[in-house]
Structure 1
């Protein structure tokens, strides 16, 4: 006897802590999946009800009362349909668990406790949860489904347990954050799992931005042969149907929608857009304001902001001084006009002169680091004043290369509520700017081709203080991302004294990074929750 079951992968964008709003989104999704896709089962991401990661909200007892009410409301809405939804649970002993609920035909029928609790990189699940050790397999319309949660699929034991308990198909709920290589890692991991268990896996991922994390979606269904039979788009909410055909002991995933996946540059660009858009939207800002210098970092940041929010939600401010080149002024204004954003120029010379007069006993005629920082801090103060008056959040424009070595000014160009390029190396800034101009030419060509400069003193270029960016980014990657020692990095072909100098700059700049704005994580080792170094420490390597 044959049986067909229609599953919808519900790739949605919940908001952390907004349980009422998330339940409303879940109920709307169930209705749409039923009416438009004829769904038998709707599979939601990990921790759908609270959003992920809820962090120390999980320590609030009231949270679990709200979650229990949410589960009851969702159960009442599941008439003639089933769903799998993620949530946290606290038992009568006060122990907490990361759960998946099977809800069908108006009732909460079964649940699964996550077994593998990640405690690396951005994950702190062992801080909050206890681990499960049992499979959960449910039968619906003649097909047996095994439930797993995120990290469980990266280990072989939970999947084998499910199959041994009778599962025909694995349903895997995920809140898997974006990094540039992550989707390929997911595909390779699931191919290993299906080789081991010889069963199909349906992988449903969250989408949306949450502080520095971006969830890229990209949900997919993989057959027992390791073929992707259904693929959801990246970076947008989506409902993607997957049809399962069962005949005797044979399970077949029917071919379905295969959304195209992004190439490298557009994938990172979309992640930056989504991270900024959701941070602004979910935190209730009216829009964003940024300093547009005529350089490539602010130029790329402006393009991302407009693409993410719309030109009417973005204000650009040029703040020239005597060291600002005319072409910087021209290029900044040209880009603002090309993107259709509100643009204002505020010369800072009068303010600088007032500070210089007030500090006449301290400053001298020579332009040094104090005078350079003073210019940056005047600009930061102006941007924050505009932010306070308009409700627009200041967007910082520093890139990862600058953040790494401290080539930025505390309370100056570092001010802001969010920093889209914080995890984007300078070499990638150029790649993304070139990519963005293939969509429409909004970044003036000479912004991309001229030598980068902070324009804080006469004839200044970045390479007066830093190595060439190709070399700098390679050393930063080796030390920060790969944890290589100075001697190991030198063996890659870099001069040992230059390697040591860059490493000293990285280590000495931790105190700045601790005070910096959040920014989108795109690498597997971003500064912040990924890489946690003590500010005060005496460690060094020979």
Structure 2
């Protein structure tokens, strides 16, 4: 049987637009001889639709769109995803559904059983799992349907185990081919993790595994596509490219079909962030981005990503020098803009900073303290960026990184402003790795930016490591605690300095209120701050030993 995995980039809520995209990709697959065309999880409405699922009008339009689409697609079988009300009682929780139909007639219907509620997932809020499966025949093959999390129920692949296992149940009921329609968000290393999982499932259950994943970005979540198929012996049968829409056509009993995919960690990270920015603007309808250019590594990498995502004409760099901005930083920002082909504006903050400082001194009867003066500068820059956003109808890209966000090394309503955070899930050492990836084929980010010690330049001679542990240590604590769930004792046992670990975890706990007010952050790690990080602000559980 010739099969097509159609990894598409749907827009959440654009039911008619998504239906047209499904028609387009169905035609491409059918023209290549596919007898079965598989689309991702909730492909009709886009994933995740969140509280759109609570609207009756949204559900009614989705149902109508599906019925019309089912009548149109002729000449091959189709599997796609949508959300459905339960026929017995529309007030029961919804079903996250996969349907298989051919020439207008529905052949099979399946509801997702395993509903994740960890990290960025919140599916029990909307759906329930019926704890049952079914096997159906298509072109002489026994097929079973699963959806995303249904296939992850092996030890070590999720934070907890589920009592019911859809894949092994399908195998016991005679399925030869298990189809998994998915909307599995990207993080660095996820591609290899999926390959290992799917190979194990294929071998364990002696079935073909067909895995079709969504591609594109929706808000903070990035989906890499990278659809896959595995033989019952665990061998890779087909592999789709990552971070692009594609149709992957292959036959169950022929040679593997392998499309090109990213080969390096930094390559996939850069592609993910570019796609995240590109889709955020395309799907919200905004045309241009503003980036504050300081001459430092974070703003340089953010600007380069924006230029790749939107094109140079749609990115405006803003220089906002203060009394403490070095000549080298201005030169580096200008050189970066020149290399990227960006237009720039320069709005110095020395005069408004001086005026505000004088007025505060009058009110206080003394000179404002150092931290107050530093944060004044950051908030002036935030005001300028937001004013220019109003003026041009652009969105501001936040340039902060995960290491600084973890310990609150940022200013509320200053450098925390923006419509989306590009690097908020990227630790500082990975920001440098991204810069080297951007410069892989020639200098874009000036070499001096990679060599000089990072500095906020908010006071004379300031360096980040005057206020923070060295990034090589800070990043290990952040990655170990936030992304890997390690404890204080485990981090110290790894050889990290006890005082450094204690101080980082102390600051991480008390700065939670800042993260609650941070922009949406593109997720590229197993655990990002933001939607999937749900720690309370007012709490007294100390992560570090007292």
TM-score (norm 1): 0.95
- Tell me whether 1:17 sits opposite 2:25 in the alignment: no
* Deviation by residue 1:211-258 (Cα, 9 ceiling, x = unmatched): 1110011001111121112111110111110213xxxxxxx2542233
Matches within 5 A, 1:187-336: 187-244=195-252, 252-336=253-337
SS at match of 1:132: coil
Partners in 1 of 2:105 and 2:349 — Cα distance? Answer: 65
Partners in 1 of 2:272 and 2:185 — Cα distance? Answer: 10
- Tell me whether 1:8 sits opposite 2:8 in the alignment: no
8 Å contact kept, 1:356–1:363: no
Deviation of 1:126 (Å): 1.3
Deviation of 1:365 (Å): 4.6
* Deviation by residue 1:5-52 (Cα, 9 ceiling, x = unmatched): 2111100001111112111111121122223x2221110000111111
Partners in 2 of 1:423 and 1:397 — Cα distance? Answer: 11
Task: Indicate the residue corresponding to 2:476 in structure 1.
Answer: 474
- Tell me whether 1:108 sits opposite 2:106 in the alignment: yes
Task: Indicate the residue corresponding to 1:118 in structure 2.
Answer: 116
Match 2:499 to one of 482, 497, 500: 497
8 Å contact kept, 1:42–1:84: yes
Task: Indicate the residue corresponding to 2:160 in structure 1.
Answer: none
Partners in 2 of 1:440 and 1:446 — Cα distance? Answer: 14
Partners in 1 of 2:490 and 2:523 — Cα distance? Answer: 26
* Deviation by residue 1:45-88 (Cα, 9 ceiling, x = unmatched): 00111111111111111222112111111211121211000111
Matches within 5 A, 1:71-82: 71-82=66-77
Deviation of 1:182 (Å): 1.1
Matches within 5 A, 1:49-198: 49-91=44-86, 92-93=88-89, 94-95=91-92, 96-155=94-153, 157-198=165-206
SS at match of 2:379: helix
More displaced, 78-87 or 25-34? 25-34
What stretches of structure 1 of length at least 5 have no aligned partner?
245-251
8 Å contact kept, 1:381–1:412: yes
Match 1:464 to one of 463, 466, 469: 466
Deviation of 1:398 (Å): 0.3
Partners in 2 of 1:175 and 1:253 — Cα distance? Answer: 27
Partners in 1 of 2:45 and 2:297 — Cα distance? Answer: 38
* Deviation by residue 1:325-376 (Cα, 9 ceiling, x = unmatched): 1010001001101110111111111211221232232374576010000001
Match 1:422 to one of 416, 424, 438: 424
More displaced, 454-463 or 516-525? 516-525
SS at match of 2:258: coil
Partners in 2 of 1:370 and 1:136 — Cα distance? Answer: 64
Flag the 1:487–1:162 CA change in 2: closer, same or farther, 3 A.
closer
Partners in 2 of 1:364 and 1:324 — Cα distance? Answer: 25
Partners in 1 of 2:298 and 2:490 — Cα distance? Answer: 31
8 Å contact kept, 2:38–2:78: yes
Partners in 2 of 1:109 and 1:391 — Cα distance? Answer: 49
Partners in 1 of 2:78 and 2:212 — Cα distance? Answer: 12
8 Å contact kept, 2:30–2:75: no
SS at match of 1:518: coil
* Deviation by residue 1:418-444 (Cα, 9 ceiling, x = unmatched): 111000000100111011100331100
More displaced, 162-171 or 18-27? 162-171
Partners in 1 of 2:214 and 2:484 — Cα distance? Answer: 28
* Deviation by residue 1:435-492 (Cα, 9 ceiling, x = unmatched): 1100331100000000000000000000000010000111112222233332332222
SS at match of 2:136: strand
* Deviation by residue 1:189-208 (Cα, 9 ceiling, x = unmatched): 11111111211111100001
- Tell me whether 1:409 sits opposite 2:411 in the alignment: yes
8 Å contact kept, 2:360–2:368: no
8 Å contact kept, 2:521–2:529: no
- Divergent runs of 4+, >3 A: 363-367
Deviation of 1:527 (Å): 0.8
Count matched residues.
Answer: 530
What root-mean-square deviation, in Å, do the aligned CA atoms of Structure 1 and Structure 2 show?
1.4
SS at match of 1:438: coil
8 Å contact kept, 1:117–1:126: yes
SS at match of 2:226: coil
Partners in 1 of 2:4 and 2:490 — Cα distance? Answer: 49
Partners in 2 of 1:484 and 1:38 — Cα distance? Answer: 50
What stretches of structure 2 of length at least 5 have no aligned partner?
155-164
SS at match of 1:48: coil
TM-score (norm 2): 0.94
SS at match of 2:316: strand
